[in-house]
Amino acid sequence: MERRKHFNKMSLADFWIVLLGCSALCHTAPTISPTTLPEDDDLAERYLSQFYADVGMKNTSMRSITNSSFSQDLRAMQAFFGLEVTGVLNNKTIEVMKAPRCGVTDISRYGHFPGKPKWEKRLITYRITQYTPDLTQNQVDKTIAQAFQLYSDVIPLDFKQVYSGTADIMILFKGGYHGDFYPFDGAGGVLAHANSPGQGEGGDTHFDDDETWTLTQRGVNLLLVAAHEFGHALGLDHSRDRRALMYPTYKYVDTNGYRLPDDDRRGVQTLYGSRTPVPTKKPKPPPGPEPEEPAEDPNLDPLPNPREEQCSRDLVFDAATSIRGDLYFFKNGYYWRKSTTFQGIRLTKVNTKWSQINHVDAAFEVPSKDVVYLFEGRQYWGIRAYAKTIISGYPKSLTNLGLPSSVTKVDAAVYESTSRKTLIFVNNQYWSYDEGRSQMDSGYPRFISQDFPGIGTKIDAAFENFGYLYFSSGPRQSEYYLPYKRVMRVLLNYGWLNCY
């Protein structure tokens, strides 16, 4: 059965909600912080039952919640929203639960719909059968086309409006009952809904005409709602990235020059690939002396040149890590830096930053210590994260970490902040290093495939971002939610480097 997505507006701000009912509304007596109100008990039960009840489900269609499972689901919810993970209700958690939001579960198998449905054609037609009186027909046509163009700019799909017959995506504005099993509920409730790709009603998108549709911040902004819904119509599920168009909760952002955010672009490109720019013919230069070759950058070797691989779908990372919120991706003795403080991607040669290091095999950050560790061969260095300088006393041997002397190179390493463990990957096995005790855990190494199903048997690079682990194996990358040992999405490495 196709999954249908909805928008919801439950306050003065413009928010989306999806009505996805839980199979059973179950009750329990959760552990509650003394500062919460008694009525918050039922709210928390309903919230977790609707949005987190599928976590850990096997072959059952219904799930009863025990105190233990309530705490487990509450931890998952707190981790998802970046709250302190306690498994106990508190005012901050209740505040998030009361906020308007999307109704689809936050822990799903993929960032796409199950089975990854998508359109198997390159030209998608759409038809608007009923318009809203809030805007002119011309304004609606232009805005709907603009919403589709956000996607056609980055994927090899084209969208064409037709004015008769049955289109691939049928669009209408109507309030209340409008021909499906999901009647709208009047102003201030459900704003719109859309089907995932497929035959028949697949992709069809409906907007509640009891809302006030606008092209500004007031009322309900049609461009943002339509772009979100068309993401569902193309096969995108919700994102946990707060900056994404497909994030469960949303309010107005400036639409002037609006482009598809990075997370949404990566998701839709994983389904459909990237749009290849059409080459333009350069005018023939006038007769004259040949221009001089540009001076060679002394920091860049002629071969291999990572700059040429930056936007290759076959890009393989040597290592990756976060450093104080920025992401560093290492390749062939260089690193790309993706920062929150400047636009674009910067490429730097490793030994121009750290003269003792020529090539980085693995890297990880321990934020609580404000230290980053870089590995090369049998040695590793400690780097002060705030100053990006090597700490006195390094390099040290891999055996200092408790690795056997037979290990000549680390493939990847990542610090997991919840458990305070560093996972060190070598070939098809991994070790767990306890940062609190500064020693290797007993019982290791273990096989990667045994403890991390779905990510492959050998890891080239790993890092943590927004509470998720990212494991790169070749050009592909698994977004992994460790508490439930589940792959959320499969991405391509190059998507992190602003490649369209």
Residues 91 and 127 in one domain: no
Do both 169 and 259 map to the same domain?
Answer: yes
Confidence bin at 392 (pLDDT 50/70/90): very high
Q: Look at residues 325, 346, 365, 318 and name the one whose alpha carbon lies nearest to residue 498.
A: 346
**Confidence band for 439, pLDDT divided at 50, 70 and 90:** very high
Q: Which two tokens stand for residue 48?
A: 């977790």
pLDDT of residue 38: 74
Provide long-range contacts, Cβ within 8 A and 24+ apart, for 494-497: 494/310, 494/311, 494/312, 494/313, 494/315, 495/262, 495/265, 495/266, 495/269, 495/270, 496/266, 496/327, 496/329, 496/338, 497/310, 497/311, 497/315, 497/329, 497/336, 497/338, 497/345
**Average pLDDT score over residue span 434-458:** 91
Give the separation between CA 69 and CA 77, rounded to whole angstroms: 12
Which of the four pLDDT bands, split at 50, 70 and 90, describes residue 310? confident
Residues 6 or more apart whose Cβ sits within 8 Å of residue 37: none
Peptide bond into 286 cis (omega under 30): no
Lowest mean pLDDT among 91-95, 213-217, 295-299, 357-361: 295-299
What whole-number distance in Å separates Cα of residue 48 and Cα of residue 105? 9
- Please check whether residues 314 and 410 belong to one and the same domain: yes
Mean pLDDT, the chain, rounded, equals: 80
Q: Is residue 493 within 8 Å of residue 317, measured between CB atoms?
A: yes
Whether the per-residue pLDDT at 264 is higher than 80: the answer is: yes
Q: What is the CATH number of the domain that holds 174?
A: 3.40.390.10
Whole-number pLDDT of residue 393:
92
Which residue is catalytic, options 45, 211, 229, 464? 229
Q: Is residue 111 part of a domain?
A: no
Mean pLDDT of 313-341: 91
- Is residue 292 in a domain? no
330 pairs with which residues across the strands? Answer: 319, 335
**154 in Cβ contact with 245 (< 8 Å):** no
Residues 81, 218 within the same domain: no
Q: Mark whether 81 and 158 lie in a shared domain.
A: no
Same domain membership, residue 319 and residue 246: no
Residue 2 is among the residues annotated as catalytic for this protein: no
158 with 214, same domain? yes
Residue 303: is its pLDDT beyond 60?
no
Q: From the centroid of its chain, how far is CA 244?
A: 8
Task: Please tell me whether residues 321 and 262 are part of one structural domain.
Answer: no
Boundaries of domain holding 192: 123-272
Has residue 151 got a pLDDT over 60? Answer: yes
Model pLDDT, residue 142 = 93
**pLDDT tens-digit readout, 16-31:** 333 333 322 233 334 4
Report, as an integer, the average pLDDT of 211-221: 91
Radius of gyration of the chain (CA): 25
Q: What does the pLDDT average to over 118-138?
A: 94
367 and 454 in one domain?
yes
Which residues lie below 8 Å from residue 95, measured CB to CB, with a gap of 6+? none
Under the banding of pLDDT at 50, 70 and 90, the label for residue 250 is low
Same domain membership, residue 311 and residue 262? no
Cis status of the peptide bond prior to 445, with omega within 30 of 0: yes
Residue 8, judged by CB atoms within 10 A of its CB (0-12, 13-18, 19+), counts as buried
Q: Is the pLDDT of residue 434 over 90?
A: yes
Share of the chain above pLDDT 70, in %: 79
Domain-embedded: residue 294: no
Same domain, residue pair 171 and 214: yes
* pLDDT reported for residue 19: 33
CATH number of the domain enclosing 60: 1.10.101.10
pTM of the model: 0.48
- Distance CA(15)–CA(103), nearest Å, equals 11
Instruction: Note the pLDDT of residue 214.
Output: 94
Q: 310 — phi, psi (to 5°)?
A: -55, -45
132 pLDDT above the threshold of 70: yes
DSSP 148-172: HHHHHTTSS-EEEE-SSS--SEEEE
- 30-34, 94-98, 350-354, 438-442: segment of lowest average pLDDT: 30-34
Does 55 reside within a domain?
yes
- Look at the chain and report how many structural domains it folds into: 3
With vertex at residue 195, the alpha carbon angle to CA 191 and CA 201, rounded to the nearest 5 degrees, is: 120
